[in-house]
Structure 1
């Protein structure tokens, strides 16, 4: 409940800040009303590592609408495959555990969902955003045979910088850092649960870069 309260408080704060400036923002016409973006890791994952044991098989797409020059809302589709707990943080040695294979599940966890996003431009290209993504979980063995289903509510807070380029500033990149938190993830079967119970439901300071196009 504490984590949920913090997420809701952050979202309300961003919304209130956006509303207080809406009259000013609407005075300036939006150059491009729509935008689509993906994490830069998606093409690399699809082309080079899709079938490997440690592949997350991630596909993520954002479609967003500029309400004005400060406030952006959108829809997020994402699916990925976990081979070890998402809660293993940097200080837990997440990279070392991937290389050693000591914390691998006895199978895979596929998570798929459609959620909502809100992005607030703070100063020049600096922005903050919040994303809420309900997900259906499917646990499988190593051969892809289904074990059971579950549910997760995946939430993230982002701080990043928007850089547009090209003749009409249609293309853009957004380097950013995430704080990720999830809840209701408590239906894991044997072979998964022992690892999930060792780690929390928060991953701090995940770096990422999104690439996209505005129209």
Structure 2
């Protein structure tokens, strides 16, 4: 819940500032073809230390503009799950975090390097797709390894690009994305029993990306 509040507050503050500086991608300074960005959600883990619900989420993107409409990139991400990712908002996601009823008997660490494609649709409006092969490590509550596996994680995004600052080099991208995963291999039985109760997708996750062009 704290992460969601952080994202909403950051979005409101930055969106208000960026509205007056909004320009379409066609008008950006073409000297800056590359960009780096990260999701604001990772800031919510700062100071949480060894808390059970600390996802230890780290994620970075490096992208290149091919032209005014098409952007390709590399994505690095790692996170630690304490319960199945397929629990939807309408399934009482936040309540289950509070009650701890769906917590794994340990953790699932997922790490990968993948690819992204972003298409500018109209002014700052964009759609993107990301494909992230992930190496999975299952851990017990003492962080001792139980098993390894593989997952192919895919996400679809719809958002808006706001640029501001000198030469419009700083930007934010509020967005909503949905994800699904396949080839989820070698899951220990205790984890699999929990995963099987829920979907292999998650819908309508709000997020805010912060970035810099160079």
Bin of the TM-score, shorter chain as denominator length: 0.7 to 0.9
TM-score, normalising length from structure 2?
A: 0.85
The Cα shift of 1:191 comes to: 2.0
Q: Which runs of 4+ in 1 moved over 3 A?
A: none
Within 5 A, what are the aligned runs for 1:40-119?
40-45=40-45, 47-119=46-118
The Cα shift of 1:179 comes to: 1.1
How has the CA–CA distance of structure 1 residues 29 and 54 changed in structure 2, closer, same or farther, with 3 Å as cutoff? closer
Q: Could you tell me whether the CA contact under 8 Å between 2:29 and 2:167 is conserved in 1?
A: no
* 2:34 corresponding residue in structure 1: 34
Highest relative contact order (Cα 8 Å, sep 6+), 1 or 2?
A: 2
The Cα shift of 1:42 comes to: 1.5
User: Could you list the runs of 5+ residues in structure 2 that have no partner in the other structure?
Assistant: 1-24
The Cα shift of 1:184 comes to: 1.0
Q: Could you tell me whether the CA contact under 8 Å between 1:50 and 1:56 is conserved in 2?
A: no
| Residues 1:166 and 2:158 aligned together | no
User: Could you list the runs of 5+ residues in structure 1 that have no partner in the other structure?
Assistant: 1-24
The Cα shift of 1:185 comes to: 1.2
Q: Could you tell me whether the CA contact under 8 Å between 1:107 and 1:139 is conserved in 2?
A: yes
CA distance in 1, matches of 2:86, 2:49: 22
Aligned residues: 189
Q: Could you tell me whether the CA contact under 8 Å between 2:108 and 2:136 is conserved in 1?
A: yes
Q: Could you tell me whether the CA contact under 8 Å between 1:82 and 1:109 is conserved in 2?
A: yes
The Cα shift of 1:81 comes to: 0.2
* 2:182 corresponding residue in structure 1: 183
Listed one character per residue, the Cα deviations across residues 67-102 of structure 1 (whole Å, up to 9, x for unaligned) are 111100000000000000000001111110001100
CA distance in 2, matches of 1:82, 1:187: 16
TM-score, normalising length from structure 1?
A: 0.85
CA distance in 1, matches of 2:146, 2:166: 51
